[in-house]
Amino acid sequence: MSSVVLLSRDGLLLEQLQAAFARRAPQLKVLLADDPQAAQAQIAACWFPPAGSLRALPNVQVIHSVAAGIDHLQHDPECPDLPVCRVVDPGHRQGMTEYVRWAAIHYHRGFDQVLRQQPEQRWQRPLQRAAAEYRVGVMGLGSLGSAIALDLAAAGYSVRGWARSAKVLPGVESFAGAAGLAPFLDGVELLINLLPLTAETRGILGHATFARLAPGAALVNCGRGAHLNADDLEQALASGQLRGALLDVFDEEPLPPKHRLWTLPAVTITPHMASAASHDCIAEQVAENLRRLQADEPLLNRVDLTLGY
How many angstroms separate the CA atoms of 137 and 118, rounded?
29
In 164-228, DSSP assigns E strands to 172-176, 190-193, 217-221
Backbone angles phi, psi at 289, to 5 degrees: -70, -30
> Residue 83 class from Cβ within 10 Å (0-12 exposed, 13-18 middle, 19+ buried)?
middle
Look up 64 and say whether it is catalytic.
no
Task: Count CA within 13 A, CB hemisphere, residue 66.
Answer: 28
Look up 272 and say whether it is catalytic.
yes
Omega of the bond prior to 254 within 30 degrees of 0, cis?
A: yes
Write down the catalytic residue from 24, 106, 212, 272.
272
Nearest to 93 by CA among 147, 25, 150: 147
How many angstroms separate the CA atoms of 99 and 165, rounded?
25
> Residue 194 class from Cβ within 10 Å (0-12 exposed, 13-18 middle, 19+ buried)?
buried
Task: Count CA within 13 A, CB hemisphere, residue 4.
Answer: 33
Q: Within 10 A of 5 (CB to CB), how many other CB atoms are there?
A: 27
Write down the catalytic residue from 75, 164, 224, 227.
224
Strand order through the sheet with 135-139:
172-176, 158-163, 135-139, 190-193, 217-221, 242-247, 267-269
Give the three-state DSSP class for 19. helix
Residues carrying an active site annotation: 224, 272
